[in-house]
Amino acid sequence: MKRILVVNVNWLGDVVFSSPVFYALKEVYPDSFIVCMADPRVRSVLECIDAIDKIVEYDEKGKHKWWWSKLSVIEELYKEQCDIAFMLHGSTTKALMAKIAGIKVRVGSPIKKKQQFLTDVITPLAQISHRSDDYLNIIEGYGINVSQRNTRLSIHESDLTEMDMFLSKYRVSTTDKLVGINIGANWELKRWANENFRQLIRVLLDSQKKVVVTGAAQDKTEVDELLKSIDHDNCINLTGKTSLSQLIALLKRLDVFVCADSGPLHIANSLGTSVIGLFGPTRSEVTGPRGIGQVTVLHCDVGCNQEPCYFLDCPDNICMQAISVDMVLEKIKELIV
């Protein structure tokens, strides 16, 4: 039995983009045992990838920050006796840890021009490519055939049942059509204006739609302010009230999810939920949803965003301003009959 280690990336969306790697490995090596090393905060997403047999947590900015604390992780990897490691994360430290753990074959792209801890160096894709293709390139460059490139996640029926019970406290039945809204993004430039979200929610409520607002705990104050003038039983604010595993079940339950380019967008789409992605500075060719659900990307060409833009001090954010409330409403109407 082949034992494989995949050293994964750290962000939620990128972890979702890595999911085809595991399924491809399992398809080529059906009897393999696949271990994934990753940050503990993405564990709930990894648990939705059926092809992963074991998760090894590596909290590099927390309890495993110092070299002496990394030894416990290296020891755990050593015990797994993996034959090969695929390095999706471009980290010299992680490649060295895999080497110390006795993994003889270590495959990855050049790590910041330092590749001494890799045995097989894979040439990165030359053109602008989707993040998921970058990860798949690591295994394809080693000779692994990839037949399915969609990102996909699965959850247990019991998790959905628990979520239905949770939603019933807010008078939501299993037959209700739900529109999910998430205002957050991991950097300010990718955020749609709060006033746009406020207008969108009001129109949806006026048209008898049920709206579920999601978000992390750090978004709660902002969402509370946004919804202060909206007092409606059909607007359910769950910001900061769900764990990541609960959020995943909730995203599966939604009929449509509206969100900027962020982790929740990619999780929802990989569960099969229809999504409307609000893209401004980023490009769908690089970080667009690749899941099994229906995808609508709203992206307005304003000149400066024809390639991914990382000008975080942009004074007017015209690329996100160009997406109107009416544009989003039109797409929601198309998706909810």
Asked whether the beta carbons of 89 and 7 are under 8 A apart, the reply is yes
Mean pLDDT (the chain, rounded): 94
143-161 pLDDT tens trace: 999 999 999 999 999 999 9
* Distance (Å, whole) CA 13 – CA 10: 9
Asked whether the beta carbons of 55 and 43 are under 8 A apart, the reply is yes
Tokens of 30: 């059906």
Task: State the pLDDT confidence band at 337, using cuts at 50, 70 and 90.
Answer: low
DSSP β-bridge partners for residue 108: 87, 121
90-129 pLDDT tens trace: 899 999 999 999 999 999 998 776 688 999 999 999 888 9
Q: Indicate the angle between helix axes 325-335 and 194-206, nearest 10 degrees.
A: 40
Does the pLDDT at position 312 exceed 80?
no
Does the pLDDT at position 63 exceed 80?
yes
Q: Domains in the chain, ordered, with CATH? A: 3-140 (3.40.50.2000), 157-335 (3.40.50.2000)
The sign one gets for the Cα dihedral 304, 310, 311, 316 is positive
Upper half-sphere CA count for residue 326 (Cβ side, 13 Å): 1
Which positions ≥6 away from 300 have C-beta within 8 Å? 280, 319, 322, 323
Beta-carbon neighbour count of residue 303 at 10 Å?
A: 7
Closest CA to 151 of 6, 5, 13, 251: 13
Q: Mean pLDDT across the stretch 252-262?
A: 97
Q: Name the residue type at position 218.
A: Q
DSSP β-bridge partners for residue 34: 4
**Listed range (67-76, 170-179, 313-322) with the worst mean pLDDT:** 313-322
Asked whether the beta carbons of 257 and 294 are under 8 A apart, the reply is no
Phi, psi of 250 (to 5 degrees): -65, -45
Q: Mean pLDDT across the stretch 255-277?
A: 97
* Distance (Å, whole) CA 110 – CA 105: 15
> Virtual CA dihedral for 202, 204, 210, 216, nearest 10 degrees?
-60
* Distance (Å, whole) CA 226 – CA 60: 35
Task: State the pLDDT confidence band at 310, using cuts at 50, 70 and 90.
Answer: confident
pTM over 0.75: yes
Task: State the pLDDT confidence band at 259, using cuts at 50, 70 and 90.
Answer: very high
DSSP, collapsed to helix, strand or coil, labels residue 290 as: coil
Q: Mean pLDDT across the stretch 9-27?
A: 97
Q: Which residue has the higher pLDDT, 61 or 303?
A: 61
Beta-carbon neighbour count of residue 86 at 10 Å?
A: 28
Does the pLDDT at position 168 exceed 90?
yes
The sign one gets for the Cα dihedral 307, 188, 38, 52 is negative
Closest CA to 236 of 205, 271, 212: 212
* Distance (Å, whole) CA 106 – CA 92: 12
Burial of 95 (0-12, 13-18, 19+ CB in 10 A): buried
